[in-house]
């Protein structure tokens, strides 16, 4: 049976092992998690152009983690802790997010990706947390609306972020919280399947059934959208 095609906008890397130039990259753990769930992960080159036409092949869109969203995208001020901003990356990710939401294409957004969706829908971000969640595993409380996917009311998740969602975008609801109040998952009143998680489910998807279920639900939705 044909695998659902999952478009993953590449991340722009300054260097990559065995490559002589800047690289378009996708995290191997992320691609592996999509593939293990039955999807076909396809990295998409990031550049300005007709995003709708370029992504028309996709059964689902996955917005991955990465560098910070440029503060000017949501009315924020420059900050010394902001890193790896890229205007072209922001433009592509924001445009792709709006396209998927508008066309009801199943959308899974991870870490930076969840922040992108919130900004795309008019929300904003806290530019730098007082106590960043970097290289930590934390428990999060799962809202009832998300429990059918996660399969639990509380789960441990792998986090790496120094920013977090502040004001929620239009139609966006918080679907999980960390003990310090950080919004760790979002859902939205869209016509299609959508989930944004601030944590990195790909880190533990090979060993944690709750994280594996995130990718399983997403790929299943993508397969049903054809």
Instruction: Give the active site residues.
Output: 111, 200, 202
Nearest CA-CA partner of 55 in 64, 43, 67: 43
Q: Which residues contact 154 (CB under 8 A, 6 or more apart)?
A: 139, 140, 141, 142
Report d(CA 199, CA 64) in Å as an integer.
11
CA distances from 180 to 14, 124, 128, 173, 185 (A): 34, 18, 14, 18, 14
The C-alpha atoms of residue 109 and residue 184 are separated, in whole angstroms, by 12
């Amino acid at each position: 049976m044909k695998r659902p095609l999952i478009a993953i906008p590449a991340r722009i890397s300054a260097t990559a092992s065995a490559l002589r130039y800047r690289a378009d990259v996708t995290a191997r753990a992320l691609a592996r998690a999509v593939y293990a769930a039955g999807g076909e992960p396809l990295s998409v080159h990031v550049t300005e152009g007709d995003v709708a036409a370029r992504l028309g092949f996709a059964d689902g869109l996955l917005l991955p983690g990465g560098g910070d969203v440029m503060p000017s995208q949501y009315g924020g001020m420059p900050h010394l802790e902001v890193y790896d901003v890229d205007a072209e990356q922001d433009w592509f990710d924001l445009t792709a997010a709006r396209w998927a939401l508008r066309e009801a294409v199943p959308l899974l957004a991870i870490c930076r990706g969840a922040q992108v969706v919130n900004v795309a829908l008019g929300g904003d971000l806290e530019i730098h947390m007082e106590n960043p969640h970097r290289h930590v595993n934390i428990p999060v409380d799962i809202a009832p609306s998300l429990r059918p996917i996660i399969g639990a009311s509380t789960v441990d998740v792998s986090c790496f972020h120094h920013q977090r969602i502040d004001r929620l975008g239009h139609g966006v609801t918080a679907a999980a919280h960390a003990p310090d109040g950080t919004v760790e998952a979002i859902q939205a009143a869209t016509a299609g399947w959508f989930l944004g998680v601030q944590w990195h489910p790909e880190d533990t998807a090979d060993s944690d059934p709750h994280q594996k279920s995130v990718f399983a639900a997403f790929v299943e939705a993508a397969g049903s959208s054809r």
